[in-house]
């Protein structure tokens, strides 16, 4: 073998050996040939951005019913607006106050319901209204309970008078904070020789004629006389909403007063106590059943007293005005609670109630708003005062009560028949007892 051939064979063998070392068998690799390597680009995972913390409210929205507005209570309105403006300035808040009618399509309840649905940014945070208006709102929508610190204060042993507590309680829970109250009272011409009557027999035979709003849709004076007779108002969902004997006794008194000429026939034409007062205040020639607030700055020539009862002055039947938190936003609720801590404090509520011509709902407010000599008679009256019946009860029975009053004053029925018709209207015919009030001929 020649030298070049030997070199060629050696080169071939060396190449084969190198190839065997650099290309190993892959028969053992799971799945055969490996998957081609893919270059991975690192992906940045975004950290969730935290939602911004809602800003604290910069305003407070207050709605007040017209029954507490400047037309009826000008001095009280001035004090209320001044207090709200000062409170807002100290806290850097804008306070917006709006007046709303008590009832009707544009009233507070309907406006609140609409605002909640269509314009929540314009809905109020807190309202000041008669308890009946707040009850009507609660029947149509969910309202938050009274904040616990205020509820505990209001319902404490040294808090509100019993009538005020009862007015805002439902199942032991307070839904509003009472601020002040008023009641039907008897205004009497001071120049009259006959003194203010204190009993029904005196009132029914008084030579000074008197009148009242017998067509009042809520029958405020009718309820006051019914409760003066010892009547109580039962639950709205029970037939025994009114008691027959006190009801018949009250209707009997009206018939006697009308028969004697003491009760004027124009009582059947009046539907509003404030309008009745405006019609007679300039000519004090008759007695008038009016709201106590109307007499806070009564013109000369008038005196007033609690309504007479069968045997003496009757307990006051109170219409209570209260604050209620209506916003469901916890942040706005906190601001509303701060405002209510001032607006319910005795040192403010007492002077405000006096300026508005209303009565206090707490002993501490009476002490702050009235001098001891002025407060002395009220100190015994207010603990015995009675709250108005709940709205549901009055809504169920007021129409029937008003119809019974109309019937006996027109002479179409006797008091016993009219009282029985009320019970029939309420589905309580079986509640009629053996009569103890004798029928009296109607005029």
Predicted local confidence at residue 32, as pLDDT:
34
Among 13-17, 133-137, 234-238, name the most confident range: 133-137
pLDDT > 90? residue 443: no
Q: Are strands 317-325 and 177-182 parallel, antiparallel or unpaired?
A: antiparallel
Domain ranges of the chain: 59-181+318-370, 184-315+389-431
Domain 59-181+318-370 adopts which CATH fold?
D-Maltodextrin-Binding Protein; domain 2 (3.40.190)
Q: In 3D, which of 281, 333, 267, 395 has the Cα closest to residue 125?
A: 333
pLDDT > 70? residue 30: no
Q: How many CA atoms lie within 13 A of 405 on its CB side?
A: 30
Same fold, 59-181+318-370 and 184-315+389-431: yes
> Cα–Cα distance between 234 and 319 in angstroms, integer?
18
Edge-first strand listing for the sheet containing 302-306: 210-211, 287-291, 184-189, 302-306
Sign of the C-alpha dihedral, residues 405, 410, 413, 414? positive
pLDDT digits (tens, 9 = 90+) for 365-422: 999 999 988 888 888 899 999 999 888 888 888 999 999 999 999 999 999 999 998 8
| Residue range 184-315+389-431 in CATH 3.40.1120.10 | no
Predicted local confidence at residue 38, as pLDDT:
30
pLDDT digits (tens, 9 = 90+) for 341-368: 999 999 999 999 999 999 999 999 999 9
Q: Is the entire prediction scored with pTM above 0.85?
A: no
Written as six digits, the tokens of 386 are: 């009675």
Written as six digits, the tokens of 357 are: 């011509």
Q: What is the CA radius of gyration of the chain?
A: 39
Q: How large is the average pLDDT for residues 286-310?
A: 88
Predicted local confidence at residue 240, as pLDDT:
63
Q: How large is the average pLDDT for residues 246-275?
A: 95
pLDDT > 60? residue 9: no
> Cα–Cα distance between 277 and 292 in angstroms, integer?
11
pLDDT digits (tens, 9 = 90+) for 175-187: 999 999 999 999 9
Q: Are strands 126-130 and 317-325 parallel, antiparallel or unpaired?
A: antiparallel
pLDDT digits (tens, 9 = 90+) for 132-162: 999 999 999 999 988 888 888 777 766 899 9
pLDDT > 50? residue 40: no
Q: How large is the average pLDDT for residues 236-265?
A: 88
Predicted local confidence at residue 102, as pLDDT:
95
Sign of the C-alpha dihedral, residues 360, 364, 365, 368? positive
Q: Are strands 302-306 and 184-189 parallel, antiparallel or unpaired?
A: antiparallel
Computed over every residue of the chain, the mean pLDDT equals 83
Work out the percent of the chain whose per-residue pLDDT is above 90: 62
Q: How large is the average pLDDT for residues 70-96?
A: 94
> Cα–Cα distance between 83 and 97 in angstroms, integer?
12
């Amino acid at each position: 073998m020649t030298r070049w051939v030997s070199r060629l064979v050696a080169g071939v063998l060396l190449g084969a050996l190198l190839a065997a070392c650099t290309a190993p068998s892959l028969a053992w690799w799971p799945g055969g040939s490996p998957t081609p390597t893919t270059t991975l680009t690192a992906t940045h995972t975004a950290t969730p951005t935290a939602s911004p913390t809602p800003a604290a409210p910069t305003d407070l929205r207050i709605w007040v019913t017209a029954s507490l507005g400047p037309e009826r209570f000008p001095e009280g309105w001035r004090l209320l607006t001044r207090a709200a403006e000062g409170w807002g300035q100290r806290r850097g808040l804008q306070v917006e106050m709006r007046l709303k009618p008590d009832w009707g399509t544009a009233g507070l309840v309907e406006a609140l319901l609409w605002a909640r649905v269509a314009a929540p940014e314009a809905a109020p945070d807190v309202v000041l209204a008669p308890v009946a208006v707040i009850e009507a709102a609660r029947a149509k929508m969910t309202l938050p309970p009274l904040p616990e610190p205020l509820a505990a204060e209001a319902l404490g042993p040294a808090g509100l008078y019993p009538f005020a507590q009862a007015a805002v309680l439902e199942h032991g829970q307070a839904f509003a904070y009472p601020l002040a109250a008023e009641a039907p009272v008897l205004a009497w011409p001071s120049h009259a020789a006959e003194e203010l009557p204190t009993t029904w027999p005196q009132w029914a035979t008084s030579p000074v004629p008197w009148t009242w709003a017998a067509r009042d849709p809520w029958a405020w004076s009718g309820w006051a006389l019914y409760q003066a007779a010892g009547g109580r108002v039962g639950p709205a969902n029970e037939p025994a909403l009114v008691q027959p004997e006190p009801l018949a006794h009250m209707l009997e008194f009206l018939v006697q007063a009308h028969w004697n000429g003491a009760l004027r026939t124009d009582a059947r034409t009046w539907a509003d106590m404030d309008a009745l007062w405006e019609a007679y205040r300039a000519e004090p020639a008759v007695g008038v059943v009016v709201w106590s607030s109307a007499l806070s700055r009564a013109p000369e020539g008038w005196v007033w007293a609690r309504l007479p009862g069968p045997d003496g002055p009757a307990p006051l039947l109170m219409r209570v005005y209260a604050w209620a938190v209506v916003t469901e936003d916890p942040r706005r609720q906190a601001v509303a609670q701060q405002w209510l801590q001032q607006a319910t404090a005795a040192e403010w509520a007492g002077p405000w109630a006096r300026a508005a011509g209303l009565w206090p709902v707490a002993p501490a407010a009476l002490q702050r708003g009235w001098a001891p000599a002025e407060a002395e008679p009220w100190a015994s009256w207010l603990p015995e005062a009675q709250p108005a019946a709940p709205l549901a009860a009055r809504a169920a029975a007021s129409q029937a009560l008003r119809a019974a009053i109309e019937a006996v004053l027109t002479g179409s029925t006797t008091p016993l028949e009219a009282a029985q018709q009320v019970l029939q209207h309420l589905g309580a015919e079986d509640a009629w007892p053996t009569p103890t009030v004798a029928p009296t001929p109607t005029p």
